[in-house]
Amino acid sequence: EDKVVQSPLSLVVHEGDTVTLNCSYEVTNFRSLLWYKQEKKAPTFLFMLTSSGIEKKSGRLSSILDKKELFSILNITATQTGDSAVYLCAAHNSGGSNYKLTFGKGTLLTVNP
């Protein structure tokens, strides 16, 4: 069975801290790994990673994939209270027409002022 595991499950930091969120996966026919940010509504797309070792950046957020070790990390530097959310990692597989996303349980990040 496909599996995605995120750690830690929750994290509390102070504004200005740097955080690293972890995601490991075991997925057949792996295609890509996606990160989403979920506040009290729809998960919002952050990154899609398909190749190992290539860092993707968007402002204070960055992410990288290691397809050999089957994991990805999401870094957030100089955290702000607005970064407080659940961060979801999902692995995308593809067999034939199957584009299913398998999600981890998420990391709840709380950034205190």
Partner 1 sequence: NAGVMQNPRHLVRRRGQEARLRCSPMKGHSHVYWYRQLPEEGLKFMVYLQKENIIDESGMPKERFSAEFPKEGPSILRIQQVVRGDSAAYFCASSPSRSLYNEQFFGPGTRLTVL
- Which residues bind to partner 1, rule: CB under 8 A? 4, 31-32, 34, 36, 41-45, 48, 50, 88, 90, 94, 97-106
Return the number of the residue (2 or 17) whose C-beta is nearest partner 1: 2
Return the number of the residue (42 or 68) whose C-beta is nearest partner 1: 42
Return the number of the residue (4 or 64) whose C-beta is nearest partner 1: 4
Q: C-beta of 25: minimal distance to partner 1 in Å? A: 12
**Of 74, 81, 102, residue with least CA distance to 39:** 81
Q: C-beta of 28: minimal distance to partner 1 in Å? A: 13
Q: C-beta of 29: minimal distance to partner 1 in Å? A: 13
